[in-house]
Structure 1
């Protein structure tokens, strides 16, 4: 029989803060009938990408006067096994419409709270600077030692180096996924998916001795195999982000 002291220690739940590596789906078109088929096309080119993944909807590129049907969009995304959990950015009108459909505004870890939804007009934003090469940035506070994996990464495996760089001393097989908040180094063949820079580290890079990826992504910008253009496939490659475009440079 349990003692009164042990019963007193029982708790129905505990709450604690945690950071998660979430993808942001930037909405560039408000039409649900355009967004969902485009995502389905990406699925065909990169099987498994975003499947069953929680995502945040980015609203910064949408016209406040033409809000999407967020309820319909949420239902359609869930029908293709994508789980929208909230929104980021956007005008107050867009955030209010999304919140009414069960998508609350989210804030980045360590950032300021998203401004409250209000009917007051938002101040005019300052003009964005011209895109330019991202300068090398010092590692953020709390940065961890580099994670080193000494064997191949098999299909279905997912490895995430949280708050650090990631070194793989072997092949990343098709269907495998390697993620780092910093840089990703693959000292073998990259055949699966490589994601560097978490959600905000635009200075992160991806290095592979044999470049044959299903998908590469830096700071939320990504390219699938069919969108690699003239990247030197099968060669040693460095991937970096210039503005909002990915650049593929041959190494050596």
Structure 2
């Protein structure tokens, strides 16, 4: 099945960064209610990718295609990624990018908006929901609970890319990811502390027991810090973020969003 069509959107953040995005209308509106329970035109879903990712990648487009069964989807590139402007701060100012996406969906007539984040995008989604408090549901997939984690080889490689000039150059050349060389000051609130501020907005934490970046303890820390309503899914055999997400898992996430908006 071909991917659902998307329409280009140019967002502008509160601090003036240009964000490259695309809107995929709900397939239910085009194909009828046989796709599932009627959610109505008000449902919007923001998809926030992981570090060095892009909404233009096939894995991300596959996720958007499935989620469009449950509402209109706005996917975007974080600052410093792909065709967006600016430099990535790896989870700090990126909450402004999510805010711009949420604001766009609200402006187009979506009073109900969910944010689904993957890896770095999950950390940003949780922080945005806790600090801005203007979404109606949030999903953290493969997200970290705390900063500076170096307990796995992939995360040590990520820190090398972030902290060393040669690493930042490699990320720019190979992944089109432009990383700031300025250290956090102050250090932003960690995701597990932000998770405690999300209620009464529902939170879903999804994590794989085969995640090579963040072990499942991160998911448990997020879940335990949060207040009800919340859910925790530990997925057997699931690896990390978008690349490992199956259509079945994404469909279950879409149904969870549907259940909280019905």
- Does TM-score exceed 0.5, indicating one fold? no
Give TM-score scaled by structure 2 length: 0.25
Q: TM-score scaled to structure 1, two decimals?
A: 0.26
Higher helix share: 2
Q: Which has the higher strand share?
A: 1
* RCO comparison, higher one (Cα < 8 Å, 6+): 2
